[in-house]
């Protein structure tokens, strides 16, 4: 359901579950940029946040904000602004070195104080990406998504067009109950099957996805 701020566009919430939720700050945009609230024993973490009126109240429904998480080097978005507002650090995987205008803490292994294990999805020039997985919820910044330009017609979840020929091996074999993505709404029905299908069909479906992505740019 769309939620509005006082005098600007608010956000649209999606994918709420016991351990968090997702918000899209600009739900009508083609990129479908999504951010996430993760509720853990260590507090609430806001993943790749894009600021919007009302997101502080949304996060407060799940507890006190303990940190902001940056999973992709080019997904700084409003991480620094949100972190400073809550007086919390920005947590980033140790292989991401992007500077942000807020206190930062690098982590490896697991997100501190939580059951979310860090996966090294991609570590290449210009693209350093991690994912979080606690055995039930998989949070992926960019390698897979559900926005139109990610998916072939028969896919509910698709590999990023730039990774179609080399789908990320770090995501293979995972059996999540839900997948939260950085672009689009999440997948919470037969999510493991959707992920497996996306990786298996990545190369075969590449031509159609390339055309779809090109048409969306035009």
Q: How far apart are the first and last CA of the chain?
A: 29
pLDDT at 63 over 90: yes
More confident residue, 27 or 110: 110
Domains of the chain: 10-217 (3.60.15.10)
Averaged pLDDT for residues 192-207: 95
For residue 70, give the DSSP letter. -
Instruction: Give the pLDDT score at 10.
Output: 79
Beta pairing partners, 129: 72, 122
Q: Is the dihedral of CA 155, 24, 50, 17 positive or negative?
A: negative
Q: Which pLDDT band, with edges at 50, 70 and 90, does 128 fall under?
A: very high
pLDDT at 4 over 50: no
Sort strands 178-181 and 144-145 into parallel, antiparallel or unpaired. Answer: unpaired
pTM of the model: 0.93
pLDDT at 3 over 90: no
Q: Answer whether 110's CB lies under 8 Å from 151's CB.
A: no
Averaged pLDDT for residues 155-182: 96
Averaged pLDDT for residues 70-86: 94
Q: Which pLDDT band, with edges at 50, 70 and 90, does 213 fall under?
A: low
Q: Which pLDDT band, with edges at 50, 70 and 90, does 101 fall under?
A: very high
Averaged pLDDT for residues 28-55: 96
């Amino acid at each position: 359901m769309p939620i509005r701020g006082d005098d600007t566009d608010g956000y649209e919430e999606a994918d709420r579950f016991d351990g968090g939720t997702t918000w899209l700050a600009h739900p009508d945009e083609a990129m479908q940029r999504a951010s996430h609230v993760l509720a853990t024993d260590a507090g609430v973490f806001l993943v790749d946040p894009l600021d919007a009126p009302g997101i502080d109240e949304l996060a407060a429904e799940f507890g006190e904000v303990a940190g902001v998480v940056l999973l992709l080097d080019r997904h700084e978005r409003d991480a620094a602004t949100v972190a400073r507002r809550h007086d919390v650090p920005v947590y980033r995987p140790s292989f991401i070195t992007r500077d942000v205008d807020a206190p930062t803490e690098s982590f490896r292994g697991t997100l501190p104080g939580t059951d979310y294990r860090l996966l090294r999805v991609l570590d290449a020039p210009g693209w350093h990406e991690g994912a979080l997985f606690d055995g039930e919820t998989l949070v992926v910044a960019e390698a897979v998504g559900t926005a139109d330009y990610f998916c072939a017609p028969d896919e509910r979840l698709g590999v990023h067009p730039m990774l179609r020929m080399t789908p990320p091996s770090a995501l293979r074999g995972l059996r999540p109950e839900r997948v939260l993505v950085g672009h689009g709404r999440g997948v919470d029905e037969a999510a493991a099957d959707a992920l497996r299908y996306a990786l298996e069909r990545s190369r075969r479906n590449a031509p159609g996805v390339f055309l779809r992505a090109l048409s969306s740019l035009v």
